[in-house]
Structure 1
Amino acid sequence: MSIKGEVCNCTDYVLWFNQITIEDIAIVGGKNASLGEMMKELSPFGINIPNGFAITSLAYEQFINFNNIRDEINNKISQINYSDLSSIKENSQYIRNLIINSKIPYKYKKEVITAYKYLSKDAEVDEVDVAVRSSANIEDLPLASFAGQLDTYLNIKGVDHLFNAIKYCYASLYTERAILYRKEMGYENDNISMSVGIQRMVRSDLACSGVMFTIDPKSGFKKIVLISASYGLGESIVQGIVNPDEYYVFKPTLMKGYKPIIQKRIGSKDIKLIYDVQSENVLNNVYVKNVSVPEDDRNKYVLSDNEILLLSQWACLIEEHYTRRNGRYTPMDIEWAKDGLSDKLFILQARPETVHRDKSKKTIEIFQIKRQGSLLVEGKAIGEKISQGKVRVIKDLQQIDQFQPGEVLVVEKTDPDWEPILKKAAAIVTDRGGRTCHAAIVSRELGVPAVVGTETATKVLRDGMVVTVCCAEGEIGKVYEGEIPYTIEKINLVEIPSTKTKILINIGNPQEAFDFSFLPNDGVGLAREEFLLTNYVKVHPMALVNFEKLREGTEKTKIRQLTQHYPQKTDYFVEKLAEGIGMIAAAFYPKDVIVRLSDFKSNEYANLLGGVDFEPVERNPMIGFRGASRYYHPYYRQGFALECMAIKKARESFGLINIKVMIPFVRTVEEGKRVIEELAKNGLRKGENGLEIYMMCEVPSNVILAEAFCEIFDGFSIGSNDLTQFVLGVDRDSEIISSLYDERNEAVKRMIATVIQVAKEKKRKIGICGEAPSNYPDFLEFIIKQGINSISVNPNSVYTTLLKVSEIEKNIEKT
C-alpha cells in the first residue's frame, strides 16, 4: 500500500485490505476477506470503505505456537461437559485468561506496528483511532452466520492498546457462547483460525450508523433493502440496545432512477453509544459509553432521503457483485456508518445473509390466529409463526439456569451470551432492539417467533403467565394473554396448477403484503384504502386540510403529535397513504395491484381522528354520502385530492406503475365521468403511463347501463356483497332479515351474468372481489362458466380457490 509517497508492503503477518479478495478467507477470515473484496472491486464505483489491514491467521498460529498453549487449550476443551453450563464457563474462562496473558512474538509485533504507523500517517495523526475486529475462518459462512459470536473493540488508540485488543479478539474464540455455538453447528476446534481486522474508525459517534439487509429478513422477500439507523456507534443496533429507525427501499425501481422509499418508520432511539475518555472498560483502553439522546433528535429521522437512497444503491451493488461472483443469488447483511466530521457514508463490513439465502419456497406455512385476545405488549414481529407458553422473565444472565425448555423468554435484550437458552425458547420477547438486533437474527436462524422492541415487556409480563406470541398479523408482533386458538395451513408450491381464470388477492394490510406475495397469485384485485386510513394514516384528510379550524382537545393533540415531522400537515396524509399503497404494490410488482379509493360510509369516516367535525350525520349511511359521490363534492374534494397525490407519488416517485385505480359505488354514468375528470385534475389521467381506471359493479344501475360505463372505464370488479343487498333490497348488516341475503339468488346471478356478457362484448376486463366465490363452490362454478376474467379472494382462501377453479375448468373442458 502506498501512503504519501511511501510504500508499506504486505508481509507474512499483515495484508492491506486492497490486497485481499474473497478467496483469502483461509488466511484473513470472513469479515476481512469481504472488506478486501469490496475495497478492490466496488470502491471504483464510489462505495466508501474505511482503510485498514488484516493481521493474518498465520500470525494467530505463530502466537499460539510461540506461547506453546495449543495442547493446553485442546485439553480444556476436551474436559467440557456441554450439558453443564458451569463446566463450559469454567473452562472458557481458563482458556481466555491463558490467551490474554500470553505474549505477542517480536516479528509479528514489529510488522503490525509498522502497518499501524502507516495507517496513522494516512489519517495525518500520530496515533489513529481504529476498530479491532475479529475475523475467523468460520465466520459469515453460508450455513451459519456466527452472528455476534466474536468480539469487536472500538476506538482503540496506540500500539499497547492495539495489541491488548488483538489478544481479546483471540480470546473471544473461546467465550462460552462461541464454544457452545460451534459444538451445536458441528465445527471442530482444531479447524479454527483467527485473523484480526484493523480498520480506521468512522466517527459515527458524532453522527449515526446502522445495518442494512438486501432482503426482508422477516419474510425473505427479495425486492427490498431494509435499513436500520440510529445515532452513535453501530454496536447499539447490533446489540439491541436501541429501537432504531427503519427504512424500506424497493430495489427494482431504485435501479431505474426512481426514489422508492416505500416506508419510513421512526424509532425511539433514546440512547446512543459514543466515545468516552473518562471511563474505561475491562480492557483498560476502550473508551465508549451510552448517553441519552435529546428529545428533538429522537423525533427526527436519522437519515435524509438522499442518504437512504445512496445506501440502498450501494447495497444493491454489493448484492449484485456477490451474486455474480458466487453464481447464485446472495442477499447481504451490511454494516454502515456516517462520519460526523466529513458527513460521508461508509460501508464497514458485509456478509451473506444466512437465513433466507438458500431457502427455496417449496412450501408455505400460514399461521392464522382465530381471534384476537387481550393485548399485553406489541413490537416488531420476527418470523411469521405463532407460539404459546409460560412467561419467564430473565433480567440478568445469572438467572439463566431458571429458564425451562418451552417457556417464552422475556428479556430487555439479548447478546450471544444468551444463546444457551435461546434455542430452548418457545418464543422470545424483548424490550429493546430492531429487526437487525441479535435476538432477531438468532430467532430467524432458529425458526422461533420473536417480538422485539416492545419497550415494556419485562415490566408488563410476569413469570408463569400463559401467553400467545403472534407474529402472523404482519410486521407488528403481538403478545396476547392466554392461549388463543390458531391454525396452520401448509401450501405445497411445487404442485400449484395453472388456471385460465386469474386468481387475485384481496389485501388491506401493507404489513402482511410481503408474506402474502409468496402465495400463488396473479396480483391484487382489491387493495382497500379503508384499512390504510384506519390503521396506518388514522387522520381524516379534511382535518389536516383545515387543521387550524379544529377544536382544541384530545384529537387535535393526537393529530399534532402524528404530524410533527411534517412542515405541511397534509404531507403526512400523502406520505403515509403512499407508503401503505407502495408496500402492497411493491410486494406484488410487476403484477397488477388494483387500489380501491376510499369507500367508508360517513359514520366510518367520522371515526378517524378529527372526522366528527367533517362528516354529516346520516340515517342510512349505507346508501348515503359514500364512494364516488364524495370525490367531486365540495365537502370532500380537497381530501380526495390528497388521496390522488398519494397514488401519484406511489406511481411516479416510487415507480410502481403496476398500480391501477378502482372507483367504488358509482351510481350514474354522469358521476363516473365527473370522477374521471377529478382524477385527471389531480394528475391521474386514464391511459397516461399505463394508468387503468376500473369501477366497482355493486349497484343495479351499473349492470343496467353497463354498455355506457364501458365507454368510461377500463373494466369492472363485481362487488357481490353490495350488489346482492341492493338487488334484493336486504340490509346486509341486519340480523333480522339476514336469511334473505344470498348471492346465489337467481336475480343476483342474472345481474352478474349480464354484466360479464357486456364486458366481454366490449372487451373490458371483469373480475369479482366479493366473498361468494370462496364460500360457495356452486357460485364459483357459475361465474367461471359465465367467463369471468379474474377472482379476487382473501389470502387464506387463495390456495383452496385455486384448486377448485382448476378442477372446474378441467370439467368444463371435458364437457
Structure 2
Amino acid sequence: MTDSTSYIRWFKELNIDDVTSVGGKNASLGEMYQNLTTEGVRVPNGFAVTAQAYNYVLEYNKAWPLLHAVLDGLDPDNIRDLQVCGKKARGIVLDCKLPDDLKASILGGYAQLKQEYGKEISLAVRSSATAEDSPEASFAGQNDSYLNISSEEALLDAYQRCLASNFTDRSIHYKYDNNFDFYNVFLSVVVMKMVRSDIGSSGVMFSLDTETNFKDVVFINAAIGLGENIVQGTIEPDSFYVHKPTYNKGYRSVLKRRLGQKELKMIFTDSLNTNNISVEYTENVETSNEEKSQFCITDDDVMELADFAIKIEDHYSQKAGFYKPMDMEWAKDGIDGKLYIVQARPETVSSQKSATTLEIFHLKDCSNILAKGQAVGTRIGAGKVRVIQDVNLLSDFKPGEVLVADTTTPDWEPVMKIAAAIVTNRGGRTCHAAIVARELGIPAIVGTNNATEKLGNKQAVTVCCAEGELGYIYDGILNFEIEQTDLSQLAKPKTQIMMNLGNPDKAFSLAALPVDGIGLARMEFIINEYIKVHPMAFKHPEKVDDVTLDKIQSLCTAYKNPQDFFVKTLSEGVATIAAAVYPKPCVVRMSDFKSNEYATLLGGKFFEPQEDNPMIGFRGAARYAHPAYADGFALECQAMKRVRDEMGMTNVILMIPFCRRVQEGEKVLESMAKNGLKRGDNNLQVYVMCEIPNNVIQIDAFAKLFDGLSIGSNDLTQLTLGVDRDSQIVAFDFDERDPGVKEMIRLAVEGGKRNGIHTGICGQAPSDYPEIAEYLVQLGIDSMSLNPDTVLATTRRVLEVEKRLLHMPKSIDQGE
C-alpha cells in the first residue's frame, strides 16, 4: 500500500525543485505561492495530487501491461494509427477504479479549501506533467483541464479525466517529438481555487516579446471570459506592452496597445457528462458591440499584471542564476475584481535563441497580396496551399505545404511540424497555432479572417513575417534571402551608426541591430497608418461634416474622447520606437506632412490649402505657430510631453523639420515651451533639420537655438540643385553626389563642429551611396542614420574607412 501522505501536497509545501513529484505546473504554483505572494503577486491556493498517485492508480488497476500492449510499436506519425491507439489508451485509464484512500485524500483537500474560501468555492482541476515546462519543451495544451468544479463527484471525475489526458493524441505525439518515453511522463494534477474569469477576463503574458526576443517589455493578451479562446485562437484578443526599464524607474504607462475584436467570450453552462455527474462545461457566446469596442481590462490592470510579470521573471532569474523569461497565465475574478496568476513557466522558444547571431530575412521580390494578418516570428516560408477544414482531413497534408485553416488545436501538431508555413483565419499571437509555429521556427500568420476563402489548394504562395507585426501572404513563390551576422565579431566604429525608423511595428524586430540609437523617427507613418485623421479635425470638429465626424468617432470608441485617442496613439507609437533603443537617443521629427499629404487624412480637406508646389509650401516649421495649424501642433506637443514625462522615454530628442529662417526657429521654440516642451526642462534637447541652404549659410545662428542638427540630404539636394524630387521629368538630376551638394554637407558638418553641437545626417545618401558614407567619415561627422537594411553593410564600410584614415593624413578637397 502506498503512503497516503504522498498523494497530496499543498502549494505552501512545494517549490520548483519538485517537478518530478508534482509536475511543472504544480511546482511553479508552489514556488510562487511560497515566495511571491508576500511580494504582492496574487496566487490562488490549492494542492497537488502527486505523480505517485498517478502511478498508484495504474498499478492498483494493473493497467501498465494493458497500456504497453496498445502503445508499444506505435508510429505516432501514422495519424490514423495514433488516433486509434490514443483512444484505447485513454479508455484504459478511464476504466480504472480510484483507490479509496486516494479518493479520501483528494476530498480531504477539497474540504480544507472550503474552510479557507467558503462552501461556495469552485475548483480548477488541471493536468501537470512531470516533464512539463522543461527548457526543451513546454507541454502547453497537451493535457486536459476542467474548470468550475463544485462537487465531490465532479472533482474525482475531473481528476481521472486529467490522468487519461496523458494519452491524448497530441500528448503522445508531443512526447515522441521531444524524445520523452510515453510511460515515464507521469501526470500530477492541480486542484486550486477557481478564479471566476468566466464573468471577468483572462489571458496570457510573457516577460519578453515572443516574436522578436526583445527583452525589455512585458507582452499581455486579454480576453473577456475564460482564456481558452486565446489559446485556441478563436478570437483576436486585446494586447498591451509595458516597458520594463521605465516601469522599474517608477513610470506607469502602457507602452503600446491594440484593440482586439474579442468576437466571443467563453462562459460556463450546466451539462451532464457520461457518468451523469453534473459538471459546469463551457460555451462560447457572442460579445456585444460595446464589449468589442472597449479594452477588456483597464490601464491599472495592465500595470498590476506587469508588476506580477516583472517580479516573477526576477525571482526565477535569480533562482536560476541567469536571465529566465517567463510565460504566464492570468485571470481576473468577476466576483472579487482581483487579478491572479494561475500559471507560470519558463518561456521555451525565444530564450533558446542565440544572443550573438542576428538573423534577418529579406524578401527580394513582390507580388499581389492575397491575405494578411498578425505575423508570428520574423521568417519567410513558401509552398503550395493545403486548406484543411476538418481534423479528419489531416492525413491529406503533405510535407512542405502551407497549412491553411480556420484555426488549429493541439491535435493538428503532427502535420504542423512538417508545414512550410501556417495561416489561420482566427487567433492572436498567443493562440495555439502561434505557439506551435514559434516553437517549431515556422513562419505563421494568424487572424487573417478570410484565408480559407482567399487561398485555394495547390496555389503557390509566399508567407512573409519579415515586415513587422503584419504578415502578408503573397501570390507565387518569391525569392528571399537570409542574412546572418555574428554580432560578437562586429566591431563598433567611432562614427555613431544610427537608424531611421517610422513604423513602430518594426521597432522590436530591429532592436537587435548594433546601432547607437534612432537618428530619425518620423511621426507621419503613425499619423497616417494608426490615427488616419487630420489633427485639426480633433481640435475643431465644428468645421468637419457629419459623415467625417462619424468616421472619426468610430476610430475613438475605446478612448475618453477623440483628442485622447490622438495623444495616446501618437505617444505610444513614438514611445515604442524609442523603447527599441532605450536608453540610447531617439531623435523624433515633428510632423512634416506637406499640404497635399495632410489633405488625404480624414477631415484634411477642411483644413488644407491647395498648393501648386507643396514640396516648398506650407510644411514643417512654418505650420507650427501658424493659426491654420497651431492647435494641431499643440496636440503633437501634448503627445511628446506624455512620451517623455509620463512614459519615461527621456531618451527622446525632438527635431524641427524644414525651418527656413532663424526667426521661424525662435517662434517654434516659443510655441513648444507654451505647450510644455521647454528646451532644457527634464533634459529636453531640440535638434533642427539642416535641409535648406539657409540652414547652412546661417548655421552659426541656428546653432545658438538648437542642441544639434541633422542633415536632410534629400531636401538639401533638391534645394541646392533646384530639382523638384517629386517631378519625374527632372528626377535624373537628383543626386546627392553632386559636388555642390557635397560642399553644402561639408559646410554643415564643419559649422556644427565649430559650434560644439551634435551633427548627423538622416537622409538617404549614406544608405544609397557607399562613397557618401565614406565622405562623411572623412569629414568627421558625429553620426549617420541609415535605413535598417543598410546598417550592417555601412557599419562594415565605416570601420574600413576609419581603419584606413588612421594610417593617412586627413585631407579633403572642397567639393570632392
TM exceeding 0.5 = yes
Are 2:442 and 1:487 equivalent residues in the alignment?
no
Q: CA deviation at 1:566?
A: 2.8
**Partner letter of residue 191 of structure 1?**
N
Preserved CA contact (<8 Å) 1:281 1:287: no
Matched residue, 2:122: 129
Matched residue, 1:172: 165
Of the three residues 262, 272, 290, the one matched with 2:284 is 290
Matched residue, 1:181: 174
Matched residue, 1:349: 343
Matched residue, 2:22: 28
Matched residue, 1:5: none
**Partner letter of residue 324 of structure 1?**
Q
- Which secondary structure does the structure 2 equivalent of 1:296 belong to? helix
**Partner letter of residue 495 of structure 1?**
Q
Counterpart Cα distance in 1 of 2:116 and 2:449: 43
CA displacement 1:6-54 (0-9 Å, x = unmatched):
xxx9922101111111111111110000000100000001211111110
- Which secondary structure does the structure 1 equivalent of 2:729 belong to? coil
Matched residue, 2:698: 705
Are 2:81 and 1:90 equivalent residues in the alignment?
no
Counterpart Cα distance in 2 of 1:447 and 1:755: 47
Counterpart Cα distance in 2 of 1:660 and 1:342: 44
- Distance change >3 Å, CA 329–CA 426, structure 1 → 2: same
Counterpart Cα distance in 1 of 2:491 and 2:256: 34
- Distance change >3 Å, CA 484–CA 105, structure 1 → 2: same
Of the three residues 449, 453, 456, the one matched with 1:459 is 453
- Which secondary structure does the structure 2 equivalent of 1:588 belong to? coil
Counterpart Cα distance in 1 of 2:320 and 2:353: 16
Matching of residues 232-631 of structure 1 within 5 Å: 232-278=225-271, 285-370=279-364, 372-553=366-547, 555-631=548-624
Matching of residues 70-89 of structure 1 within 5 Å: 70-89=64-83
**Partner letter of residue 201 of structure 2?**
C
Q: Please identify, of 196-205 and 156-165, the stretch whose mean Cα deviation from structure 2 is larger.
A: 156-165
Preserved CA contact (<8 Å) 1:387 1:470: yes
Matched residue, 2:197: 204
- Distance change >3 Å, CA 617–CA 85, structure 1 → 2: same
Of the three residues 225, 230, 238, the one matched with 2:223 is 230
Matched residue, 1:771: 764
CA displacement 1:493-523 (0-9 Å, x = unmatched):
1211111100000001000000111011100
Counterpart Cα distance in 2 of 1:279 and 1:425: 38
Preserved CA contact (<8 Å) 1:566 1:572: yes
Counterpart Cα distance in 2 of 1:181 and 1:347: 26
Counterpart Cα distance in 2 of 1:128 and 1:572: 41
Preserved CA contact (<8 Å) 1:10 1:16: no
Of the three residues 84, 90, 98, the one matched with 1:104 is 98
CA displacement 1:133-169 (0-9 Å, x = unmatched):
1111101111111121111111122122111111111
CA displacement 1:524-577 (0-9 Å, x = unmatched):
000011111111211110111122331233x44322210122332111111110
Q: CA deviation at 1:283?
A: 8.6
Provide the TM-score with structure 1 as the length reference.
0.97
- Distance change >3 Å, CA 487–CA 607, structure 1 → 2: farther
Q: Please identify, of 9-18 and 74-83, the stretch whose mean Cα deviation from structure 2 is larger.
A: 9-18
Preserved CA contact (<8 Å) 1:362 1:494: yes
Preserved CA contact (<8 Å) 2:253 2:299: no
**Partner letter of residue 444 of structure 2?**
A
Q: CA deviation at 1:491?
A: 2.2
Q: CA deviation at 1:392?
A: 1.4
Counterpart Cα distance in 2 of 1:752 and 1:222: 38
Q: CA deviation at 1:317?
A: 0.3
Q: CA deviation at 1:278?
A: 4.6
Preserved CA contact (<8 Å) 2:495 2:782: yes
Preserved CA contact (<8 Å) 1:211 1:333: yes
Of the three residues 769, 776, 783, the one matched with 1:783 is 776
Counterpart Cα distance in 2 of 1:392 and 1:333: 31
Counterpart Cα distance in 1 of 2:234 and 2:218: 22
**Partner letter of residue 143 of structure 2?**
L
- Distance change >3 Å, CA 267–CA 100, structure 1 → 2: same
Are 2:674 and 1:681 equivalent residues in the alignment?
yes
Counterpart Cα distance in 1 of 2:780 and 2:467: 35
- Which secondary structure does the structure 1 equivalent of 2:255 belong to? strand
Q: CA deviation at 1:492?
A: 2.2
CA displacement 1:685-713 (0-9 Å, x = unmatched):
11111211000000000000000011000
Counterpart Cα distance in 1 of 2:519 and 2:18: 51
Q: CA deviation at 1:279?
A: 6.2
Preserved CA contact (<8 Å) 1:720 1:771: yes
Q: Which ranges of structure 2 fall in alignment gaps of 5 or more residues?
A: 809-816
CA displacement 1:758-782 (0-9 Å, x = unmatched):
2111111000111211222322222
Counterpart Cα distance in 2 of 1:566 and 1:199: 37
Q: Please identify, of 648-657 and 155-164, the stretch whose mean Cα deviation from structure 2 is larger.
A: 155-164
- Which secondary structure does the structure 2 equivalent of 1:674 belong to? helix
**Partner letter of residue 29 of structure 1?**
G
Q: CA deviation at 1:416?
A: 0.8
Preserved CA contact (<8 Å) 1:129 1:201: yes
Q: CA deviation at 1:478?
A: 1.7
Of the three residues 726, 731, 734, the one matched with 2:727 is 734
Aligned residues: 805
Q: Please identify, of 16-25 and 731-740, the stretch whose mean Cα deviation from structure 2 is larger.
A: 731-740
- Which secondary structure does the structure 2 equivalent of 1:261 belong to? coil
Matched residue, 1:798: 791
Q: Which ranges of structure 1 fall in alignment gaps of 5 or more residues?
A: 1-8
CA displacement 1:439-489 (0-9 Å, x = unmatched):
111100111111111222223322222222111111111222233443332
CA displacement 1:573-606 (0-9 Å, x = unmatched):
1111011101101111011000011111110111
Matched residue, 2:740: 747
**Partner letter of residue 304 of structure 2?**
L
Counterpart Cα distance in 1 of 2:410 and 2:701: 67
Counterpart Cα distance in 2 of 1:90 and 1:772: 64
Counterpart Cα distance in 2 of 1:27 and 1:417: 27
Preserved CA contact (<8 Å) 1:164 1:283: no
Matched residue, 1:4: none
Preserved CA contact (<8 Å) 2:767 2:786: yes
- Distance change >3 Å, CA 91–CA 566, structure 1 → 2: closer
Matched residue, 1:6: none
Question: Please, what is the CA RMSD of the aligned residues?
Answer: 1.5
Of the three residues 143, 150, 153, the one matched with 1:150 is 143
- Distance change >3 Å, CA 282–CA 371, structure 1 → 2: farther
Q: Please identify, of 706-715 and 188-197, the stretch whose mean Cα deviation from structure 2 is larger.
A: 188-197
Counterpart Cα distance in 1 of 2:732 and 2:371: 40
**Partner letter of residue 458 of structure 1?**
T
Counterpart Cα distance in 2 of 1:446 and 1:177: 15
Counterpart Cα distance in 1 of 2:555 and 2:657: 29
Counterpart Cα distance in 1 of 2:409 and 2:275: 18
**Partner letter of residue 306 of structure 1?**
D
Counterpart Cα distance in 2 of 1:250 and 1:283: 50
Counterpart Cα distance in 2 of 1:287 and 1:526: 54
**Partner letter of residue 614 of structure 1?**
F
Q: CA deviation at 1:360?
A: 2.3
The percent identity for this pair of structures is 47
Counterpart Cα distance in 2 of 1:10 and 1:586: 53
